[in-house]
A and B are shown apart, each in its own frame.
Chain A
Amino acid sequence: MTSACSHLAEVRKALAAGHWPQAVAPELRSHATTCTRCTQEILITQHLFAAKASALTAFQTDAPHAAPQLLWWRAQLRRRNAALAQAARPIAAAQLFAIAITAAAAIGLIVTHWDSIFSSAAHAPASSFMALLTNWGLAPLLLAITLVATLGGLALYLSADRQ
């Protein structure tokens, strides 16, 4: 790495203050023409200063930028949405838990009444709802209600989640 020049701090100071090259000692200027490190410093700083100056001007003349009030409002809105999302997390967890319990109950019901459903279905005549109810008992009715409740709850949960 190039060793730091002893005049570098002085050159930097003059550049930062905008004194280069008019308001610096002639010795320093003549040194800068022969020192690689100082030449680099001057070349880059002058060009980047010029680019910054033109960018600062462009910022004012370009299309209007967002007002600070609008940014403040958007930040507050984002904070609020984040807080709402955080608060909604336990509710979503509770909904999932409820769905899981309902599904488990439905499965349990099917398993415990499987034999009666199967035997009733085997001997059931293809007749009216009353005949089916007489032959199968309340098990299919309970099963249907459970399924409707489960699917309804799931549909509600999914629609609420999308919103």
Chain B
Amino acid sequence: MNWEDAIPAIALAHAAPSVGNAEPAMDSDQFAAFYERTSRPLWAYLARTSGDPALADDLMQESYIRFLGAGFPGGGDVASRSYLFRIGTNLLRDHWRRKRTVPLEDLPPDRSAARDLTGHTESRLTLMPALAKLRPRDRQLLWLAHAENYSHREIAEITGLAAPSIRLLLFRARRQMAKLLQQEGAKIS
């Protein structure tokens, strides 16, 4: 039996689309495949820019639910991925607005740090204090530009910032980040 058939309400929702609501962005199989492709980078983005893996879990789930609730953005997988990151960015921003007095240093320790088997522990030990000293927006910009390799136009779409200002904001964030990393003793290899 298909798991969706076990819930009559959902079967009903499929049979008769609700008035005033957009169609689901994709069917359940398409969504499962999309989730498989995007969940890890989205979680990495949310976890590293927030510094809180538990929060990243919550925001990731909410991002996917909102993504499915919204109409299909069009433009294929790349656009869907950008749209998902945009939802995650907005949720993160809302979280920071509600709770802006909690600095990154006061957040619970990263549970993954103890089990980091990738050999990047030293790099993370240098990076995390530097990231913590950056503004949330700068962390997001740097992650999207360097870890996700998004273009300035894509970053503007995801963050909701004006496209012409991305270049300048990234320049400032990059300069500050490099300075902080060098203060932490980081060197290029």
Contact = CB atoms under 8 A, between A and B. Distances in A.
Contact of B9 (A59, A60, A80): A80
Given A71-B31, A75-B24, 13 more contacts: A40-B175, A43-B187, A45-B146, A51-B131, A52-B44, A55-B47, A59-B44, A69-B28, A74-B61, A77-B9, A79-B69, A80-B12, A87-B19
Interface in A3-39: 16, 21, 32-33, 39
B101 interface: no
B186 interface: yes
Contact of A51 (B19, B124, B149): B124
B35 A50 contact: no
Interface residues of A, number: 49
Q: Which 10 interchain pairs have the tightest Cβ spacing?
A: A58-B112, A83-B18, A55-B44, A75-B68, A50-B123, A50-B120, A68-B35, A40-B178, A48-B147, A47-B127
Interface of A: 1-2, 16, 21, 32-33, 39-63, 65-66, 68-69, 71-80, 82-83, 86-87
B111 A62 contact: yes
Contacts of A69: 3, 28, 32
B120 A53 contact: yes
Contacts of A46: 123, 188-189
Given A48-B142, A76-B24, A56 B188 contact: no
A76 B124 contact: no
Contacts, number: 180
Contact of A50 (B47, B117, B127, B174): B127
Interface residues of B, number: 66
B117 A55 contact: no
A58 B47 contact: yes
Given A56-B41, A65-B39, A51 B48 contact: yes
A117 B147 CA distance: 82
Given A54-B120, A57-B116, A75 B65 contact: yes
B60 A76 contact: no
Contacts of A79: 13, 18, 21, 24, 68-69
A42 B178 CA distance: 9
Contacts of A59: 39-40, 43-44, 47
B72 interface: no
B121 A54 contact: yes
A83 B13 CA distance: 10
A74 B67 CA distance: 12
B21 A82 contact: yes
A61 B48 contact: no
A76 B10 contact: yes
Contact of B118 (A32, A43, A53, A66): A53
